[in-house]
Amino acid sequence: MDMISTLPSKSEMYRACVSRDSEYEGVFILGVKTTGIFCRPTCPARKPRPENVEYFPNAREALAAGYRPCKRCRPLEPRGQAPEWLRPLLTAVESNPTRRWRDQDLRNLSMDPIRVRRWFQVHHGMTFHAYERTRRLGKALGRLQRGDDLTLAGYDHGYESTSGFRDAFESVFGTTPGRGKHAGCIVMTRLLSPLGPMVAAATEKGVCLLEFADRRMLETQIKRLRSRHGCEIIPGENEHLTRLEDELQMYFCHEITTFTVPLDLMGTEFQLSVWRALQMIPYGSTRSYDEQARSIGRPGAQRAVGKANGDNRIAIVIPCHRVVRSDGTLCGYGGGLWRKKHLLELEQSFRQLRDRD
């Protein structure tokens, strides 16, 4: 069953294609009649004339209509997936995460260091060298927390001197390696979804962040996390992020309607009450801001409730997308209204199908 039942107007979709508007990623696919290919709205290829384009809600329908996928924008791959040219490097990093990479090592893989740096800055918010350096430090922190010797942890993770390891460690974590034995950290990774890449983070207690990678508030949310938890955020994974990734995949495939992954929420008493109320909205249903305010015993506090919804750092799992205006129209979603519409139609279509069965 299609998750998007209606499309924007043709003029709006064509404008989105011409301007390569990323807000429309996941909303529609365009088929080019003259070439027989179908593309994402953001495809860098030259745009055809309006009369030579037709639109589809998803890649499946474009394929069924006889179009083949574009080799430039790769519409069959999840948005944000690493490009083919970068995959040998990512594989090498994962196979030996303690290795210290230099620009010449990238050139030996026939990769331009500048191109690699730009990709990591766009998709991870840091250079490749910063990424692999903090990844090494994160693994070293894990060894320190298990009681390993400071010098051995530094040498085993690519540092040639104890002082170099100590300086690098302190610059990332804001504490010395000795104190780091007792320091916590937040691990962060990038997850792919049908609605675009997402950034997820977790502590030892549970997931503390899940946001779309292109959300404008993402940098602010990360800074708030760092401040509230009193520790740095480093690239990595843990059992909570693995479980979150599995449950997100099942959610988008209509296999689950509730999430069970542990959460680590930090906020004011009012924010926590609003976030708990969001989790009580049934799957496939919506609630107005007024109804949400009344549910927490604060009638008339719709504006404050809306602000707390906007401060929610765990999208989808804490379903702020289920809150709408009193007249049922959509508003106020940091990930973009098209994603809010997509999520609501996904849930409502599955609920209707389940109720009929």
Residues annotated as catalytic (active site), given as ranges? 320
User: Helices (H), strands (E): how many in the chain?
Assistant: 15, 10
β-pairing, 233-235 vs 186-191, is parallel
First-to-last CA distance in the chain? 15
Which residues neighbour 340 within 8 Å (Cβ) at sequence distance 6 or greater?
321, 330, 333
Start-end of H helices in the chain: 10-19, 59-64, 87-95, 103-108, 113-124, 128-145, 150-156, 162-173, 177-180, 218-229, 239-252, 269-279, 289-295, 302-310, 337-356
Sign of the C-alpha dihedral computed for residues 136, 138, 139 and 144 taken in this order: positive
Which residues neighbour 106 within 8 Å (Cβ) at sequence distance 6 or greater?
89, 112, 113, 116, 128
Q: 123-154 burial, b for 16+ CB within 10 Å, e for fewer?
A: bbeebbbbbbbbbbbbbbbebbbeeeebeebb
Element containing residue 13 per DSSP (H, E)? helix 10-19
CA dist 347 and 353 (Å) reads: 10
Which residues neighbour 239 within 8 Å (Cβ) at sequence distance 6 or greater?
none
Asked whether the beta carbons of 279 and 221 are under 8 A apart, the reply is: no
- Residue 288 corresponds to which tokens in the numbers above? 């107005």
Sign of the C-alpha dihedral computed for residues 328, 333, 339 and 340 taken in this order: negative
Neighbours of 160 (CB within 10 A): 10
